Structure 1
């Protein structure tokens, strides 16, 4: 079901944000970090969100607004998705600059990383606490069948799915390592 997939993806994103939060703490303690791993996380969040996750949510939100009326939180979600995409692109540029050996003050990077994590987490929390429960409470079986019929994309996740994309091998390994650490 679409709602279950969206929530599963939210869980994946929360796990990646936890890795970034750990990296932020390392920076704040003046330890070095693996910027290429940060880059992979940001790239994954950008690509997966823009191509798979947000379009899927937008189907739900558009359908909701058409059939259940205006809700301020839902009306703003598509714009918020666009703003998150722009913020992610801007942060990715900073990470890329570091990977290209540009000098980026650690304090500036730390602030931007914290802002990136906070923005992503705030968005996920709002969807999980306000938007998805509202949709779940109101949608009928027919509503779910219709929105499911509108989604035709292949969803094999390049980090958490059965086939790991080459460009995310390091990230997938780090996720598996994190999972073992928390068992």
Structure 2
């Protein structure tokens, strides 16, 4: 059993997230003992596209100065598109990846990585419609269930969650 009891993991999301892509990894790291902080563009609860409501612990502006042991970025087209437009979220992701800390992105979540300019020379996967954006940002895109490249974990869709969660637990430990 993976022990993350000494780790603090941020989940960065806003309204319109893909419900299972937020709740499943969040539960996996919580069950492993991690402290989880939900970080969003607002401090009121956020709602997934299928109606799941999640309380927010910190705004992206508040979180920008904090250190996290890992970051999870759930997908959902609307969520991913809005998060990448938030300068604080982009700065947090850029700083985190730049420090060599682990991050997981599933489905459309990889969009923010293009804005954070952290993909040059990296290999990852995503929802297939993002492959041109990711390649244009300097990444090698592959169609695989889960890809890990120097602490950057990526997956394509909710179908990949078991492999994504297992790899997150591994790199966060």
Name the TM-score, length of structure 2 as normaliser. Answer: 0.25
Higher strand residue share: 2
Name the TM-score, length of structure 1 as normaliser. Answer: 0.24
